[in-house]
Amino acid sequence: MGKQFIPKITVFHCINVFGDGEFLLPPEKQDAAVEFIKLPCSSMVKDVFLLRAFESGADAVLVLVCPEGACRYVEGNLRAKKRVGWVKNLLDEIGLDGGRLALFNVAADDAAAVEQIIVQTLSQLADLGPSPAA
C-alpha cells in the first residue's frame, strides 16, 4: 500500500498582505503542510527562492502580493509577477508543470481570501499529486 499524499505548499508573502498565516487552514485541510515565508516586499522573491522551494519538496508555491497600484514600494508586486511568470515558463520547460506556481493579488489583511487561495490550491494538488521534483 502506498504512502498517503500530504500536500506541501510554500507561501511567500509580502508583510503588508498579512502577518502570520498559521491560522488560515480550515480544520478539514489541516493534514496539509503549509509553510509561510514573510518578505519585506514581494519584489524580494527571487527566481532561486521559488526553485529552491520546489527542490525542498513543495508540491505548490504561492506568491501573495499587494493589489496592483497598491504596493508600498510602487512596483514590487509587478517585479514579483514578472519573476513568477519567468519561473512558471521554466517549470513547464523542464516538465515540472508551471501550474504548481501561482501569484495572487491580495488586499491587506484579507485572511479569508488567503484561506480560499490555499483551499483552492489544495484541491488542485489533489488532482496533480506530488511534485515530480520531490
As a dihedral over the C-alpha atoms of residue 41, residue 46, residue 47, residue 48, rounded to 10 degrees, the angle is -140
The whole-number pLDDT of residue 31 equals 76
The whole-number pLDDT of residue 79 equals 87
128 close to 91: Cβ distance less than 8 angstroms: no
59 close to 134: Cβ distance less than 8 angstroms: yes
User: From CA 11, how far away is CA 9, in angstroms rounded?
Assistant: 6
Q: What is the per-residue pLDDT across 55-77, written as a single tens digit (0 to 9) for each?
A: 999 999 999 988 876 667 667 78
Q: Is the pTM of this model over 0.85?
A: yes
Q: Where are the domains of the chain?
A: 24-33+42-127
User: Residues 26-53: what's their mean pLDDT?
Assistant: 84
In the chain, what is the greatest distance between 2 CA atoms, to the nearest angstrom?
A: 52
